[in-house]
Structure formats: C-alpha cells, structure tokens
Amino acid sequence: MPSERALGVAVVGTGKMGADHVRRLRHRISGARVRAVVDIEAERAKTLADAIEGCAAYTEPAAAMAARDVDAVLIASPGPAHEAALLEALDRDLPVLCEKPLTPDAASALRVLDAEQKLGHRRVQVGFMRRYDAEYMKLKRLLGKGELGRTLMLHHRHRNPAMPEWFTEEMLINDSVVHEMDVTRWLLDQEITAVTVHKPASTSNAPAGMSDPQFVLFETESGALVDVEIFGHCGFGYQVQAEAVCERGIVRMDDEHGPRLTTADGRWGGRVTPDYLERFEDAYDREVQAWVDATRRGETTGPSVWDGYAAAAVCEAGVLSQREGRRVEVDLIERPAFYQ
C-alpha cells in the first residue's frame, strides 16, 4: 500500500527498547506517527501515551492492531512474547518490525515462518540492527569486493557492562550472541553449521548460577571458524568489535566513538560507550527509517523471518552446547524458495 500519509505505528512493549523506539519514531525519523503503545503494565503504557498527541494506550497487542489508525507494528516486548504478537500481526496482514530475537527457539520461529509463507508475501523485518551500523556496513562491503579473498576466520568481542537481574545464562546465547549469529551469516553469506560453547574462569561480578564470560565457536558451511567472546558483566562499558581474517588481508572494524584525547599527564585514549543505545543509536535510526520507508512503498526489506529462524536454530544448538559442554550441530530446515 504505497502511501502519502505518515505510517501509523503501534509499539508493543514500552520498556527500555520500546520507549527508545517511540522516541526515535517521534523525533529522529520521518514518515511515521506513534498511534498506539501496548504494555502488560497498564500504567507504563498510559504514561507514555498521555505524552503523545493522538496516541492510545492498550494492554493487549490485538486491541492496538485493530485500531483504525494503526498501519504497522513495532514489537519490543521480551523475546518469549514475540511469537503471539507476530502471529496476530500476520493474521491481520500488518507490516512488522520485530526486535531481535525473532523468537527464542527454533520451533516457535518455524511457526512464524509458516504463517508468513501462508500469507504469501513478506511482512516482517527482524531487528538485527547491526546490519545498519556504519562500521559493519563497511566491513560487509570490503569482504564483498573479493580483493581480500575468502574469509577464513572472524573474531567477535561483545561486552556489556552488566545485565539486568532477570537475565539468565541461556540469554547470553539467545539474547546477546544472537547478534553475532546474524552478522556472521550476513557477512559471510552462508549458514552456521555447528556451535561449541566454552566457559572460562568466571568474573566475580556475575550473578550466582551464571558463568560469565563465555567463549563461543561457530563452524560455517565454507569451513570458516568464528569465535565470539560474550561478556555480560565486564564492568567498564559496552564494546562490540569484529575482525575478519582473509586470504589476502585482515579487516578490523573500528569501534571507536567520540574524540581521542591526549592529556597533560601523559595519557592517551578515548571513551567507551556506556550502553547499546548510544553505541548503536545511528544503526537503530537507519533500521527504523528503512522499515518506515519500505512499508510506505508497500515493500518489506531487511533481515527476514528466514534470518530470524536461522539465528534461532543456531541459538538452540548454542544453548544445548552451553548446557552439555559439547559441540552441537545446527539443525536447519532447507531454505524455502519463498526466502531465496
């Protein structure tokens, strides 16, 4: 439905990420209006809606999706709640931007994959925002040019200062490393075939029952090896780095943000971003603008339900490896022609 008027968006889940997307839709990107906010915490949704002209608060995603001025849905509830909201939106043929992970496990991701195929056209963009980050885009372009030859290894580092108290050890894999699963598939243009999770000595900052950091190894279809350091409680800030080792060179992603200072006491250096909202702000903006623009043209672009399902299948292997301490092969269905 190519449209001249602003896209009416319902935002489902108004916690840290949902509230930030509401701010983004209102103040940082063009072509959209927040018409509904949904949260099981009624007061949170109402407080947010009261501050936005023409926006209503709901506690049920289905009620918001039925509203006359809602054309599209941005899902930012916790991962386990995504499936129900996605199926509801697909049932109504509404365009969706769904925060990562698509769903936390492969079986639920497959149900979404089936529902979109039954609908007969793509409607869902998955919120793998690193694909919209300037540094990752440069890395992708360089690897794609072919000058460096095949990529033999990728090294990823993913450090968070601390995790919320509800964050579990499994979530280190299916909520955090899911980003590296997606960028690895995207950068190398191939699937991940096996995962092994190793647990080094744990920081005393980790909560009881969580071994942190963890070292995750992916094997890929071409035989590349990919390692990920996931550190949930590094204490000092938010850091995401990547380096590709290729046949004819090495590309290291620049993760510096902000000025680098040299000071009178002989120190030299920059600043580490405190969290993902600051580190990836431009990427989130580009991602949401791309979704609004494509939706207004009547198209669906960006990471697909297939990408969300493939990452969920790798997560499932990763969680099993984390639990059992062994290498686990990824169990992936054949890619349907619909998603070629």
Ligand X SMILES: NC(=O)c1ccc[n+]([C@@H]2O[C@H](COP(=O)([O-])OP(=O)(O)OC[C@H]3O[C@@H](n4cnc5c(N)ncnc54)[C@H](O)[C@@H]3O)[C@@H](O)[C@H]2O)c1
Residue pair 22/11 in contact (Cβ under 8 Å)? The answer is yes
Residue whose beta carbon is closest to ligand X: 15
Q: State both tokens at 303.
A: 């990471």
The side-by-side arrangement of strands in the sheet containing 239-246 is: 249-252, 239-246, 151-159, 225-231, 214-220, 192-198, 328-329
Interacting partner of 94 out of ligand INS, ligand X, none (Cβ under 5 to 8 A depending on kind): none
User: Whose Cβ is closer to ligand INS: residue 14's or residue 176's?
Assistant: 176
User: Whose Cβ is closer to ligand X: residue 39's or residue 246's?
Assistant: 39
Interacting partner of 88 out of ligand INS, ligand X, none (Cβ under 5 to 8 A depending on kind): none
**Surface-to-core class of residue 193, CB atoms within 10 Å of its CB (0-12 exposed, 13-18 middle, 19+ buried):** middle
Interacting partner of 13 out of ligand X, ligand INS, none (Cβ under 5 to 8 A depending on kind): ligand X
Residue appearing with tokens 């903006």: 285
Residue pair 238/162 in contact (Cβ under 8 Å)? The answer is no
Residue pair 65/89 in contact (Cβ under 8 Å)? The answer is yes
User: Whose Cβ is closer to ligand INS: residue 67's or residue 277's?
Assistant: 277
Angle at 138 between CA 135 and CA 139, to 5 degrees: 90
Residue pair 177/158 in contact (Cβ under 8 Å)? The answer is yes
User: Whose Cβ is closer to ligand X: residue 21's or residue 296's?
Assistant: 21
Interacting partner of 41 out of ligand INS, ligand X, none (Cβ under 5 to 8 A depending on kind): ligand X
- DSSP assignment of 243-262 equals EEEETTEEEE----EEEEEE
Q: Which distant-in-sequence residues (6+ apart) come within 8 Å of 265 by Cβ?
A: none
Interface positions, 118-177, toward ligand X (CB under 6 A)? 127, 129, 175
Interacting partner of 127 out of ligand X, ligand INS, none (Cβ under 5 to 8 A depending on kind): ligand X
* Residue range at the interface with ligand X (CB under 6 A); choices 34-42, 118-126, 234-242, 295-303: 34-42
The residue from 78, 105, 186, 191 that contacts ligand X (CB under 6 A) is: 78
User: Whose Cβ is closer to ligand X: residue 24's or residue 140's?
Assistant: 24
Q: Decide if residue 100 touches ligand X (CB under 6 A).
A: yes
User: Whose Cβ is closer to ligand X: residue 12's or residue 246's?
Assistant: 12
Q: Decide if residue 207 touches ligand X (CB under 6 A).
A: no
User: Whose Cβ is closer to ligand INS: residue 235's or residue 336's?
Assistant: 235
* Residue range at the interface with ligand X (CB under 6 A); choices 49-57, 72-80, 86-94, 332-340: 72-80
Q: State both tokens at 109.
A: 């991701």
Interacting partner of 18 out of ligand X, ligand INS, none (Cβ under 5 to 8 A depending on kind): ligand X
Interacting partner of 306 out of ligand INS, ligand X, none (Cβ under 5 to 8 A depending on kind): none
User: Whose Cβ is closer to ligand X: residue 4's or residue 165's?
Assistant: 165
Q: Decide if residue 49 touches ligand X (CB under 6 A).
A: no
Give the shortest CB-175-to-ligand INS separation in angstroms: 5
User: Using CA atoms, how far apart are residues 290 and 31, in angstroms rounded to an integer?
Assistant: 11
**Surface-to-core class of residue 244, CB atoms within 10 Å of its CB (0-12 exposed, 13-18 middle, 19+ buried):** buried
User: Using CA atoms, how far apart are residues 75 and 291, in angstroms rounded to an integer?
Assistant: 13
Enumerate binding residues for ligand INS (CB under 6 A): 160, 175-176, 179, 276
Sort strands 268-271 and 56-58 into parallel, antiparallel or unpaired.
Answer: unpaired
- Summarize as ranges the residues that interact with ligand X (CB under 6 A): 12-18, 38-41, 44, 61, 76-79, 81, 99-100, 127, 129, 175, 276, 280
